[in-house]
Amino acid sequence: MMKNKPVGLFCLFFSLACFLAVSGCSSSKVSDVDTITVVDQLGRSVTVPKRIRRIAALHHFGGKVVFALGQQDKLVDQALYHRENLAMAKVNPSFAAKPKIISGHELNHEQLVALKPDIAIAYTSFDPAEMEQLETAGIKVIAIRGETLEESYAGVRLVAKVLGCEKRGEEYISECQRLVGLVKERTKRIPPEKRLKVMFVGPKNIYTVATGQMLQNTILETAGGRNVASSLTGFWASVSPEQIAAWNPDVIFLGSSLETYGADVLAGDRQFSTVSAVKNRKVYVFPSNIGWWDYPAPHCVLGMVWAAKVLYPDMFRDVDVQRIADGFYSRYLGYSFSAMGGEL
């Protein structure tokens, strides 16, 4: 019996060593298991917790993506802006109870830090100094961008990966692609020479237009139009009345004006008296009344459907944009477009 004791002790020590080795391995991998590293759309490597419990969205794109992924309960702030914020607050008491961390264009850093989000989702145009300030305070910042559909989809996939809901992200993207496909399938039949000339007017005044580098250009081209300012570069280029008269657009869309001006301003301006769109009353405010569909976000696919029907109503006679918007909003904001007060 005495001869068996060393064997028993050996087994005991061996088992203990194995246990400690396994425990030590697990302990050394805690950081790997509990975090993931992603590359955001500024090309920055960002390591974030694998389980995100609290999210701040510093731009409407990020806020909408979080809603679309069904993760809105994790938002520490309202994360929707302008009219969409007001519309959601009317139908969702828990949303209305959350704080606003951005007033106008000013971010309340102290309030944001006090809310202790695991991550903050910013747009790529976010001030780098402010981004560094947040990360110094322990808030990981993910930057996303959506000036093209491809960038928007990449932004969705990035956020979906961070939040651990890639499948939901792909479903969202597939629905967006389906709507884009619906429009492209019909407008591709329009010969180049018969495509309507369209001008997309920006937020500053009636002499700022969307260039060929902007999301609005993609919206117009997908909808079967020709952006008269497609050769211009940059964002919201300023142009002269003479240039607009020379372009002579068939249709003018007023986008994101936020009530700073309307179609009546163009109608009352002598500089526009010779422009076909004004003479023929083909000036339209881009929807919607509760949230613009020309902002960088996959929701802009609704703007493509609407714009295509405005430009070519006979070709899209069977397409009910309000019904499509109701379904899209229900799935990706939690309430139908109509229930939130949306009108076209």
In a domain, 228, yes or no: yes
For residue 137, the model assigns a pLDDT of: 93
Same domain for 291 and 195, yes or no, is yes
CA distances from 208 to 125, 161, 226, 301 (A): 20, 37, 17, 23
In a domain, 28, yes or no: no
Average pLDDT over residues 93-98: 95
> What confidence category does residue 81 fall into, taking pLDDT thresholds of 50, 70 and 90?
confident
- Name the DSSP class of 184: H
> What confidence category does residue 266 fall into, taking pLDDT thresholds of 50, 70 and 90?
confident
Q: How far apart are CA 223 and CA 270, in angstroms?
A: 29
CA distances from 326 to 20, 286, 320, 331 (A): 57, 17, 10, 9
In a domain, 254, yes or no: yes
Of 160 and 28, the structure prediction assigns the larger pLDDT to 160
* pTM (two decimals): 0.85
Residue 225 has pLDDT above 90, yes or no: yes
Same domain for 142 and 261, yes or no, is no
Residue percentage of the chain with pLDDT more than 90 = 71
78, amino acid identity: Q
pLDDT per residue over 39-63, tens digit each?
Answer: 999 999 999 999 999 999 998 899 9
Residue 258 has pLDDT above 90, yes or no: no
3-class secondary-structure state, position 320:
coil
For residue 20, the model assigns a pLDDT of: 40
**CATH number of the domain where residue 308 is located:** 3.40.50.1980
3-class secondary-structure state, position 270:
helix
pLDDT per residue over 295-307, tens digit each?
Answer: 877 889 999 999 9
In a domain, 247, yes or no: yes
Same domain for 149 and 251, yes or no, is no
Residue 3 has pLDDT above 90, yes or no: no
3-class secondary-structure state, position 269:
coil
- Name the DSSP class of 2: G
Residue 238 has pLDDT above 50, yes or no: yes
Average pLDDT over residues 100-126: 90
For residue 201, the model assigns a pLDDT of: 93
> What confidence category does residue 259 fall into, taking pLDDT thresholds of 50, 70 and 90?
low
Residue 252 has pLDDT above 80, yes or no: yes
Q: Which of 6-10, 123-127, 183-187 has the lowest mean pLDDT?
A: 6-10
In a domain, 330, yes or no: no
Of 210 and 12, the structure prediction assigns the larger pLDDT to 210
Q: Which of 26-30, 154-158, 196-200, 241-245 has the lowest mean pLDDT?
A: 26-30
In a domain, 326, yes or no: no
pLDDT per residue over 19-39, tens digit each?
Answer: 444 433 333 343 457 999 999
Same domain for 194 and 294, yes or no, is yes
Secondary structure tally for the chain: helices H, strands E: 15, 13
User: Are 19 and 133 a contacting pair, CB within 8 Å?
Assistant: no
Residue 2 has pLDDT above 80, yes or no: no
For residue 188, the model assigns a pLDDT of: 93
Q: Show the domain range for 143.
A: 33-164
Beta-bridge partners for 198: 227, 251
- Give me the chain's average pLDDT, please: 88
Same domain for 42 and 148, yes or no, is yes
The count of domains in the chain is 2
Q: Which of 6-15, 68-77, 217-226, 259-268 has the lowest mean pLDDT?
A: 6-15
Average pLDDT over residues 320-328: 97
- Burial class from Cβ neighbours inside 10 Å (0-12, 13-18, 19+) for residue 168 reads middle
Same domain for 46 and 117, yes or no, is yes
Residue percentage of the chain with pLDDT more than 70 = 89
Helices (H), 188-315: 215-222, 241-247, 263-267, 276-279, 300-311
Same domain for 40 and 160, yes or no, is yes
In a domain, 332, yes or no: no
